[in-house]
Amino acid sequence: MAHLKRIGLYGGTFSPPHVGHIHAARTFLALGEIDELIIMPTYRPPHKVNHDRTTAEQRLAMCRLAFDFSERITVSDLEILREGKSYTSDTLRALSREDVRLVFLCGTDMFLTLDEWHEPEVIFALAEIACIRRENEQTDGEALLRKANDYKARFGATVRFLQAEAIELSSSMIRARIASGKSTDGMLTDAVRAYVNEKELYR
């Protein structure tokens, strides 16, 4: 049987993309789980309201600046061009091919609610799930294993857990710091910070 190319999918609002996102992407690539990684900024997340007034095109531009460190990474505009609510099941359908195995990267909070997402059966059928668990994370390991076993029983899911160094950072924290004029040193790449300043985002 021919080798299936393993393509990772890392989606999110990325408003803005920060060093925590970059660390997760680097970890995913370094673990040897995947051959390529697709960064997928959402057009409109089903579970979030956009209060920061950035456009999808601005978030896409910031992702292209943040994730330009590896030739194995592609920043995709698939969901942005599709518009409407960004459902992971639709994206996996669009990316699915016979010669590819998709691996969906998520954090623990996301992992614990995957069965509540739109068409979870499609998500589990079309992709392996790689859950990144940060060191020192408070999420109960037994709860994660129970959920993984539940997904396997109900959906035939393939789940693996990846360990990553903890970086205590969130986009909402960074937006709040920018709005209040505080420093974001060490939180954003120079290129993303320059773009945020040029466009006067999150002010």
Q: What is the pLDDT of residues 15-30, one digit of tens each?
A: 999 999 999 999 999 9
Q: Give the pLDDT of residue 134.
A: 72
DSSP 150-190: HHHHHH---EEEEEE------HHHHHHHHHTT---TTTS-H
Query: Which whole-number Å values give the CA distances from 192 to 92, 142, 156, in the listed order?
Result: 28, 38, 40
* CATH number assigned to the domain with residue range 5-168, chosen from the 4 options 3.40.50.620, 3.40.50.150, 3.90.1150.10, 3.40.50.300: 3.40.50.620
Quickly tell me which residue has 């990772």 as its tokens.
8
Q: Give the pLDDT of residue 115.
A: 96
Which pair of tokens denotes residue 160? 């693996």
| Structural contact between residues 33 and 162, judged by C-beta atoms closer than 8 angstroms | yes
Instruction: Assign 128 to helix, strand or coil.
Output: strand
pTM above 0.85, yes or no: yes
Q: Give the pLDDT of residue 5.
A: 94
Q: Give the pLDDT of residue 133.
A: 82
pLDDT, the chain, mean:
91
Q: Which tens digit of pLDDT belongs to each residue from 105-139? A: 998 889 999 999 999 999 999 999 999 887 666 66
Q: Give the pLDDT of residue 138.
A: 67
Q: Which tens digit of pLDDT belongs to each residue from 156-172? A: 999 999 887 767 789 99
User: Looking at residues 136-161, what average pLDDT do you find?
Assistant: 89
> Could you tell me what percent of the chain has a pLDDT over 90?
75
Q: Give the pLDDT of residue 109.
A: 87
